A = this chain, B = another copy of it.
Amino acid sequence: MTGKREAKRDALRGGLIDAATTRIAENGLSGLRARDITADAGCALGALYTAFDDLDALIIEVNSRTLRRIDAVMSAAVDGEINPGRQMKRLAAAYLDFARAHPRLWRALFDHALPEGRAVPDWHIEDQARLLVHIVGPLEKLQPALAREKLRVRARTLFAAVHGIVSISLENRFVGIPIDTLDDELDRFIDLLLSGLTTASG
């Protein structure tokens, strides 16, 4: 029974991730406290540091889960749609929907920054990069001439643009948009991009 200890350790890690996820979803990243998480998870304060290097490492786990959830809704969004333009629109709408449904988990993805020197683990960068694959699909149908690497960069640019719109809207920066016109506004914006993508050569 060597696996007994491993299982216990994994259960502890899972419980802590669950507790942290709930706390972030309810109070946001800035309201996250190690003492609250461990109390919710039913373990001692110090236990957190036996399961993770520090609070940042735990947050990265939560964010990784969130990215996988977004990955799933984006996959579902394009399912059954062949037209690349409409795929783009569905992807943007799915992203907006997720952000609106889980604003604090979604914000935690971008609010969390490691202290000065430390680097984000490669596997978590990979979690992020996976989202771009959804954009690359329709994009290469719209711009078949684009080379592989250019395609990745362009996909990131388009994702970033949509993210910026969703982000600044949900944060209510620069005077708020009525929330129900946001869907339309984003849809119009994708139209704008598609119009450019189909006429320009890249």
Contact = CB atoms under 8 A, between A and B. Distances in A.
A72 interface: no
Dominant secondary structure at the A interface: helix
Contact of A195 (B131, B186, B196): B196
B156 A161 contact: no
A199 B189 contact: no
Nearest to A188: B202
B174 A31 contact: no
Interface string A137-160: 000000000000000111011011
B185 A192 contact: no
Interface string A105-148: 00000110101100000000100110110000000000000000
A45 interface: no
A82 interface: no
Contact of A169 (B131, B160, B175, B196): B160
Given A116-B31, A193-B192, A195-B199, A161 B165 contact: yes
Nearest to A132: B174
B192 A196 contact: yes
Given A161-B189, A164-B163, A192-B196, A174 B115 contact: no
Q: How many copies of this chain does the complex contain?
A: 2
A27 to B, nearest CB: 8
B181 A128 contact: no
Contacts of A196: 191-196
Contacts of A188: 154, 157, 202
27 contacts: A27-B116, A31-B116, A110-B173, A111-B113, A125-B175, A128-B174, A129-B175, A132-B174, A153-B185, A154-B185, A154-B188, A156-B177, A157-B165, A157-B186, A159-B174, A160-B164, A160-B167, A161-B165, A163-B164, A163-B168, A164-B165, A164-B167, A192-B192, A193-B193, A193-B196, A194-B196, A195-B196
